[in-house]
Amino acid sequence: MRILVVEDEPTLGRQLRATLEGAGYAVDLATDGEDGHYLGSTESYDAIILDLGLPEIDGLTVLDRWRKEGRDMPVLVLTARDSWSDKVAGLDAGADDYLAKPFQTEELIARLRALIRRASGNASSELVAGDVRLDTRSGKVTKAGEPVKLTAQEYKLLSYLMHHKGKVVSRTELIEHIYDQDFDRDSNTIEVFVTRIRKKLGTDIITTIRGLGYSLEESDPANA
């Protein structure tokens, strides 16, 4: 999952980036509203963390522009302001959630996970595909109840596919959502990761749709 953080305070921005990367997200960081608006308008993100008090262009204006452009990614607003009017303004501009500073990073990550789940139509923190289960809270993956160890990139790829279970996801979309902006997008590593995941979780876990991409089936063993 790929996240954009738009935060002008250098220390907080670096801390958020490190924390989110440690939680398994690919993270881009913008330090003013102009750069944040550009990235949010031209890149693909699963969610955005947006500070309201930004230089160049304020956060509310950035958010309002995204929504008018038809960009519907979940946005979590950060603000040092704690008045109800600022919260209402953020929500009215198109925010999906808000968090007042100072905050606990555990709460921010939990809210972020919830936004991403809701955006992809998943109510539970545990994602299921056949006998494979992925817990977005703990980052653990099991097959038939047995733990399976995945690398960070394998986990990111599997998590994205499980969030979009039943849909065909192109190789380009996977690259856009599991790597940050600086990654070499001509890489063929997606195929390598798919092969490794199949070896660990079974050859039928990921279906290749020739010429289109990859898919995970909707099946759930509890309903079989």
Answer yes or no: is pLDDT of 44 > 80.
yes
24 CA to centre of own chain: 9
What span, in angstroms and rounded, lies between the C-alpha atoms of 216 and 126?
Answer: 15
What span, in angstroms and rounded, lies between the C-alpha atoms of 173 and 80?
Answer: 34
Answer yes or no: is pLDDT of 120 > 70.
yes
Residue 134 bridge partners (DSSP):
127, 141
Structural domains in the chain plus CATH codes: 2-119 (3.40.50.2300), 126-223 (1.10.10.10)
Q: In degrees, to the nearest 5, what angle opens at C-alpha 121 toward C-alphas 46 and 103?
A: 50
Q: Could you tell me the two tokens for 187?
A: 């890489």
Answer yes or no: is pLDDT of 121 > 90.
no
The predicted pLDDT at position 218 comes to 63
Average pLDDT score over the chain? 89
Q: Which of 5, 218, 220, 214 lies closest to 109 in space, CA to CA? A: 5
Q: What is the pTM of this model?
A: 0.81
For the segment 72-83, the average pLDDT, to the nearest whole number, is 85
Length of the chain: 224
Q: In which band, very low, low, confident or very high, does the pLDDT at 81 lie, cut at 50, 70 and 90? A: low
